[in-house]
Amino acid sequence: MTKLKIAIQKSGRLNEDSLKLLKDCGISIDNGKDQLKASARNFPVEVLYLRNGDIPQYLRDGVVDVAILGENTLVEKGEELEIIERLGFSKCRVSLAVPKEFEYTGIQDLNGKRIATSYPNTVEKYLKEQGITAELHIINGSVEIAPNIGLADAICDIVSSGSTLFKNGLKEAVQMSVSEAVLTAGPNLSADKKAILDTIQFRIQSVLRGQNSKYILLNAPNDKVESIIDILPGMRSPTVLPLAEKGWSSIHTVVLGKSKFWDIIEELKARGAEGILVVPIEKMVL
């Protein structure tokens, strides 16, 4: 039977979130401690646990068919590989950082400086676009220590909260790009494997829609219903049901996206909505 080989990071948060996503898609992985390869019990998938930086080459070579990895790694080592789906977790930024005492005023301050990084291709491309020449020191591992030991004047690394920079006496100078976990595929998938991937992507999209949406139930006087419906974004249109209490209705709808959620809730209250219930959605299938 044809199986789709999926690469995920061997350890760390990207590993945990990737396995959770597969589980949410109904794919049960039998993996033990320190196991480098595992098969799904209920789906034609095999998971390989690999070093993040090695995954792009394995995709090119056909060792694995698809992968969940950080976009920053894809930009650095597999820019020609296609992003199939943005997954919304493991968000970070790729930034240049300098010591706190460095009087940074602009990117021109790094001209002629030494920069330590694990992302030489990313840094080189960015500096070239900015017309800056710098000496790159490639370090595999923790680069934050480089300025403290005199190896570099600045670093380029991924930044989440910025706490690691702070602990090492550094400050973020330039945000070069943002990154998140992405689903990508190798260049030569067979028709059978493409069909399996299409099914997985359909499930992933349903999970992501559910994560970014809320189901809302509320009560409202009948004379306020039209005003309330006017501000409710939904998949089609809200469901309006009469309540046992005369002159009142119950309105049900789905609010898509998180950015304006609280603004909508506050406006609903202002327009007469009462008893508002907000329910998480596990999956949303269109």
- C-alpha of 134 from chain center: 31
Beta bridge mates, 170: 99
pLDDT at site 234: 61
For residues 139 and 134, what is the distance between their CA atoms, to the nearest angstrom? 15
Domain 92-179 has CATH 3.40.190.10: yes
Q: How many C-beta atoms surround the C-beta of residue 149 within 10 A?
A: 8
Cβ–Cβ < 8 Å for 209, 284 = yes
Task: Return the CATH class of domain 213-280.
Answer: alpha beta
Q: Which CATH superfamily is domain 4-89+180-210 in?
A: Periplasmic binding protein-like II (3.40.190.10)
pLDDT at site 33: 61
Global pTM?
0.86
* pLDDT tens-digit series, residues 45-85: 999 999 988 999 999 999 999 999 999 999 999 889 999 99
Listed in order, the ranges of the chain carrying CATH 3.30.70.120 are 213-280
* pLDDT tens-digit series, residues 75-111: 999 889 999 999 999 999 999 999 999 999 999 999 9
Listed in order, the ranges of the chain carrying CATH 3.40.190.10 are 4-89+180-210, 92-179
